[in-house]
Amino acid sequence: MTETTELASPPEDRFPALFAPQRWEWGGIDAQFATELPPDELITNIHLIGFTPDQRVVLCRDARNHWFLPGGTREPAESVLDCLARELREEAGARLLGEPVWVGAHRAVTDRPTPYRPWQPHPVKAWLWGWAEVTVDSAPTNPEDGEEVVEVRAMTVAEACKLLVNGREAWWGELVRLAAEQRGAR
């Protein structure tokens, strides 16, 4: 199959693990990814594939040796962009260099009796995923109520995919590849 043919196929065909139904046991959540964006009032979490000017992906490593994409939970009345800017600073010591491009979202339904945070919608919510150009220009602020980030590293797309998938589902790598594909098409 040629590269042109691959890009012409729907993302669901190229990234089957990302678009497959998922069960996130840690939150009692059934999730399904789609490129259709959810209404703002359902978005509880925002995460970013941050690309540096030299085309590397920014990942964070926490004290448990867990690599992750920067992002997190919205605070009450916080806009999506304000949450993204705050989480980038807290976890990666990074800031946006341009507007984010939203890749899609996981629509999530929890079987837990109460919301994770009292102000969040329940039982349906959404995790928004995007990409943007970023710069890492300080240390993570590591607030007391967040992950303890011990390392921030910019790496190739292939290395980021490998670290994100290590011990987890393949959809993490597919998400990064989808963002890289979209970025390359611009």
Q: How far apart are CA 161 and CA 147, in angstroms?
A: 21
Per-residue pLDDT tens over the stretch 81-122: 999 999 999 999 999 999 999 999 999 999 999 999 999 999
Please state, in angstroms and rounded to a whole number, the distance separating the CA atoms of residues 174 and 186: 19
Please compute the mean of the pLDDT values over residues 141-148 and round it to a whole number.
90
Name the percent of the chain lying above pLDDT 90. Answer: 90
Average pLDDT over residues 41-68: 96
What band does 7 get if pLDDT is binned at 50, 70 and 90?
Answer: low
Looking at residue 4, what is its pLDDT? Answer: 41
pTM: 0.93
Q: Which helix (H) or strand (E) holds 7?
A: helix 3-8
The DSSP H or E segment spanning 159 is helix 157-165
**With 70 as the cut, is the pLDDT of residue 3 above it?**
no
Q: Rg of the chain's alpha carbons, rounded to an integer? A: 16
- The answer to whether 92 touches 136, Cβ cutoff 8 Å, is yes
Domains of the chain: 3-137+146-185 (3.90.79.10)
